[in-house]
Amino acid sequence: MINLGTKAIKKNDLAGMRQWFGITAAMGAVFLAGQVYEYMNLGYGLKTNLFSNCFYLLTGFHGLHVFIGLVLILGVLWRSRRANHYNDITHVGPEMAEIYWHFVDVVWIVLFSLIYLLTLI
């Protein structure tokens, strides 16, 4: 979704960028809320065993990075309030937020595969 926002600002569509960045931020917030819900209902703690320790460490650091990504996205949205701050020529901020967000996405694919899918085997 964030990619569509960056494409929009490169076409000088500020409203489109705000819309897609807002949707991405909302989805990130839902992800973090789900992670908090999962932590509260797992039934095991940080010191239960080696798996639980690794689980909390890996998913906790990922959650931290998602939170940082949300701050970046919200920062872009906040700064976009200024007239002509982002446009088809000056759009480094949205691009950097997008690159960071995609990095967090790729890390989640690896973590999800390692933690959730491999434990099913």
Q: What is the pLDDT of residue 20?
A: 98
Q: Using CA atoms, how far apart are residues 100 and 39, in angstroms rounded to an integer?
A: 25
Q: What is the pLDDT of residue 114?
A: 87
| pLDDT tens digits along 43-87 | 888 778 888 888 899 999 999 999 999 999 999 999 999 988 999
Q: Residue 113: how many CA atoms within 13 Å on its side-chain side?
A: 6
| pLDDT tens digits along 82-121 | 988 999 999 999 999 999 999 999 999 999 998 888 777 6
SS3 per residue for the chain: CHHHHHHHHHCCCHHHHHHHHHHHHHHHHHHHHHHHHHHHCCCCCCCCCHHHHHHHHHHHHHHHHHHHHHHHHHHHHHHCCCCCCCCCCCCHHHHHHHHHHHHHHHHHHHHHHHHHHHHHC
Fold of 2-120: Four Helix Bundle (Hemerythrin (Met), subunit A) (1.20.120)
In sequence order, the 6+-apart residues with CB closer than 8 A to the CB of 46 are 52, 53, 56
Q: What is the pLDDT of residue 117?
A: 81
Q: Is the pLDDT of residue 42 over 90?
A: no
pTM (2 d.p.): 0.89
Q: What is the pLDDT of residue 102?
A: 96
Average pLDDT over residues 22-36: 97
